[in-house]
Amino acid sequence: MATQQPSPALHAPASSRPYAKARPGYGKRTASGRQHPPRTDDFALLPERERYIAGYVDRLPDGAAMDIKSLAKSLPLYGQMAVSSALRALGVAGHLRRVRCLAGEGEQVRWVSRTYWSRAARDNEWWDTFLTAEGGHSTPEAAPAPAPPGAEATVTAPASPLRATTPPGSPPLAPPASAPASLAVPAQRASTPGAAASSAYLVLARLGRRDARLALSAADCRALEPLAADWFARGVDADYLTRALTAGLPAQVGSPVGFVRRRLTDKVPPYATDGPAHATTVAPKGHLLAECTECGRPGPPEALPDGLCRPCRTTPPEAPAAPPVERDVHALVGQLRALTRLP
In the chain, what are the domain boundaries? 15-145+154-167+284-312, 195-270
pLDDT tens, 162-189? 444 444 444 444 444 443 433 333 333 3
Q: What is the mean pLDDT of residues 9-19?
A: 49
Residue 199: predicted pLDDT: 86
Give the list of residues 6+ apart from residue 18 with CB closer than 8 angstroms, or none.
Answer: 154, 155, 156, 157
DSSP run (H or E) holding 101: strand 96-103
Residue 343: predicted pLDDT: 59
pLDDT for 316 beyond 70: no
pLDDT for 97 beyond 60: yes
Q: What is the mean pLDDT of the chain?
A: 74
Q: What is the mean pLDDT of residues 113-121?
A: 91
How far is the C-alpha of 75 from the C-alpha of 56, rounded, in Å?
8
pLDDT tens, 266-302? 888 887 654 444 333 333 444 788 889 888 888 888 8
Contact 241, 201 (CB under 8 A): no
Burial call 278-295: b when 16+ CB within 10 Å, e when fewer: ebbebbeeebbbbbbbbe
Provide the 10 A C-beta neighbour count for residue 135: 20
Confidence class of residue 64 from pLDDT cuts 50, 70 and 90? very high
Residue 108: predicted pLDDT: 63
Residue 162: predicted pLDDT: 46
